[in-house]
């Protein structure tokens, strides 16, 4: 008797589990589905099995026959719904069946990671059908035009720009500036989607944190306006703090990602992590005292803000030029001054400038980390300034203690 190959059994079991995961979601759908947990489990298991058979006979024919069968099955589902039941035609079930057939083949070849990733994404998309429909309903024709504009910037203009500096001093990098603008637009779009999600699921506190990823100052100025009108002081305090915490986390992650070889990870992970923990602690303490965060509007009507993105891009160029020139003629302390002043406008631009200077060998990891930190501290101070001049002194006084501790934690962690 020929022994059973344990590898094939493992792959079949994994395929069954992945098919069942999608099948469970299909079974929970309110309307009747043609492919549930049993059908999809058997389908994916068959994919893994035919791969094993193909390897035994050293032929790709079993896999090709299986894929043809899956394609016919998918088309049959469409035919039954359209011709027999005369129901509203939809392609989700049929495409899911075909995709899971491919997943079964992937599992059969031992490609577990892409198979699992595909199934998780599919389950998420299927389970959040209503949420996606709500999000799509909020988009307008102008949003589509904006998306096309972003595509032109990323796929047409960016590739034709020169990679190096375009000025005789070696400080004007147009391609890097445009890349920075494109990244901001992508973050804005991701935050717009997340903001709609959190408004529905958790509340405006989380929305403030997500909004802070794009612009903590935008969230803060909105909160200042509410406090100046004598409304929602607890909510404004928590939202402003949450946005500031998100800003620190964003800048830390961006600094690490943009630095060559993730060289900024070691000097900033501890101080930035502690600052995020301190800010989060203040938010949690205030939320326990406050009864409600409230429903606020952060003004995120469109997923893209080209004006702010290009303003950040111009500021990035200015900070980069000032920092490079200051580093050349005034030593590294000139770059620190430029970073601090730049943080009042865009701490994100300071991060990108510091990473660029580090990549060029103009400063060390510690110096770049200090530059990023000064930009963050300036951003915190700018919120206090806007709060004071905006007539929200109550908010200014409440933010003093957490901001002071967060700033001291960042600088103290870097200097120790």
Q: How far apart are CA 400 and CA 416, in angstroms?
A: 23
Q: Mind listing the pLDDT tens digit for each residue in 288-308?
A: 765 544 444 444 455 666 776
Q: How far apart are CA 311 and CA 292, in angstroms?
A: 35
Would you say 343 and 312 are in contact if contact means Cβ atoms under 8 Å apart?
Answer: no
Furthest-apart CA atoms within the chain: distance in Å: 86
Average pLDDT over residues 248-258: 90
Q: What count of other Cβ atoms lies within 10 Å of the Cβ of residue 166? A: 13
Mean pLDDT of the chain: 78
The DSSP call for residue 109 is T
Q: Confidence band (pLDDT; 50, 70, 90) for 59? A: confident
Most confident of 24-33, 80-89, 138-147, 199-208: 24-33
The DSSP call for residue 153 is I
CA dihedral 281, 287, 293, 296 (to 10 degrees): -20
Average pLDDT over residues 256-269: 88
Measured CA distances, 111 to 99, 324, 356 (Å): 15, 47, 37
Give the 3-state secondary structure of 70-94.
HHHHHHHHHHHHHHHCCCCCCCHHH
Q: How far apart are CA 47 and CA 62, in angstroms?
A: 10
User: Tokens at residue 373, please?
Assistant: 């930190």
More confident residue, 209 or 118: 118
Measured CA distances, 284 to 12, 198, 287 (Å): 47, 17, 5
More confident residue, 414 or 138: 414
User: Tokens at residue 6, please?
Assistant: 């344990």
CA dihedral 195, 197, 201, 206 (to 10 degrees): -20
More confident residue, 66 or 135: 66
| Least confident span in 159-163, 300-304, 335-339 | 300-304
Q: Mind listing the pLDDT tens digit for each residue in 104-113?
A: 999 999 899 9
DSSP 271-322: HHHHHHHHHHHHHHHHHHH-S----------SS--HHHHHHHHHHHHHHHHH
User: Tokens at residue 209, please?
Assistant: 């944190």
User: Tokens at residue 301, please?
Assistant: 């009507």
| Least confident span in 131-140, 264-273, 402-411 | 131-140
At residue 134, the pLDDT reads 66
Whether residue 142 has pLDDT greater than 70: no
At residue 361, the pLDDT reads 82
Q: How far apart are CA 218 and CA 205, in angstroms?
A: 15
Q: Confidence band (pLDDT; 50, 70, 90) for 87? A: low
Would you say 97 and 66 are in contact if contact means Cβ atoms under 8 Å apart?
Answer: no
| Least confident span in 21-30, 56-65, 355-364 | 21-30
Q: How far apart are CA 296 and CA 208, in angstroms?
A: 9
Q: Mind listing the pLDDT tens digit for each residue in 232-247?
A: 567 778 888 888 999 9
Strands (E), 150-221: none
Q: How far is CA 107 from the centre of its chain?
A: 29
Q: Mind listing the pLDDT tens digit for each residue in 341-378?
A: 777 767 888 888 888 888 888 888 888 899 899 989 98
């Amino acid at each position: 008797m020929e022994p059973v190959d344990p590898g094939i059994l493992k792959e079949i079991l994994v395929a069954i589990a992945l098919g069942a995961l999608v099948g469970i979601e299909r079974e929970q759908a309110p309307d009747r589905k043609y492919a549930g947990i049993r059908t999809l489990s058997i389908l994916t298991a068959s994919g893994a099995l035919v791969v094993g058979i193909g390897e035994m006979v050293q032929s790709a024919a079993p896999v090709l026959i299986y894929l043809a069968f899956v394609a016919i099955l998918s088309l049959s589902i469409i035919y039954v719904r359209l011709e027999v039941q005369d129901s509203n035609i939809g392609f989700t079930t049929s495409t899911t069946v075909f995709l899971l057939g491919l997943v079964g083949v992937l599992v059969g070849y031992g490609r577990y990671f892409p198979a699992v990733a595909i199934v998780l994404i599919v389950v998420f998309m299927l389970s959040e059908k209503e949420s996606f429909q709500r999000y799509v309903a909020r988009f307008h024709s102008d949003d589509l035009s904006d998306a096309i504009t972003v595509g032109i910037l990323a796929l047409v203009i960016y590739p034709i720009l020169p990679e190096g500096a375009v000025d005789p001093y070696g400080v004007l990098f147009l391609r890097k500036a445009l890349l920075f603008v494109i990244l901001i637009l992508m973050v804005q779009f991701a935050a717009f989607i997340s903001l709609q999600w959190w408004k529905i699921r958790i509340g405006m506190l989380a929305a403030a944190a997500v909004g802070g990823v794009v612009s903590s100052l935008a969230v803060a100025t909105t909160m200042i306006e509410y406090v100046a009108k004598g409304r929602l002081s607890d909510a404004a305090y928590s939202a402003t703090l949450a946005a500031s915490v998100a800003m620190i986390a964003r800048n830390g992650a961006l600094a690490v990602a943009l630095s060559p070889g993730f060289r900024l990870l070691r000097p900033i992970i501890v101080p930035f992590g502690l600052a995020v923990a301190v800010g989060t602690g203040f938010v949690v303490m205030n939320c326990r005292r406050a009864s409600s965060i409230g429903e606020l509007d952060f003004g995120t009507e469109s997923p893209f803000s080209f004006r702010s993105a290009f303003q950040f891009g111009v500021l990035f160029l200015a900070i980069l030029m000032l920092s490079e020139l200051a580093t050349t003629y005034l030593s590294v302390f000139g770059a620190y001054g430029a970073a601090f002043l730049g943080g009042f406008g865009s701490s994100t631009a300071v991060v990108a400038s510091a990473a660029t200077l580090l990549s060029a060998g103009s400063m060390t990891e510690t110096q770049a980390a200090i530059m990023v930190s000064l930009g963050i501290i300036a951003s915190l101070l700018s919120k206090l300034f806007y709060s004071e001049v905006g007539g929200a002194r109550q908010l200014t006084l409440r933010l003093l203690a957490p901001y002071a501790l967060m700033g001291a934690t960042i600088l103290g962690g870097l200097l120790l």
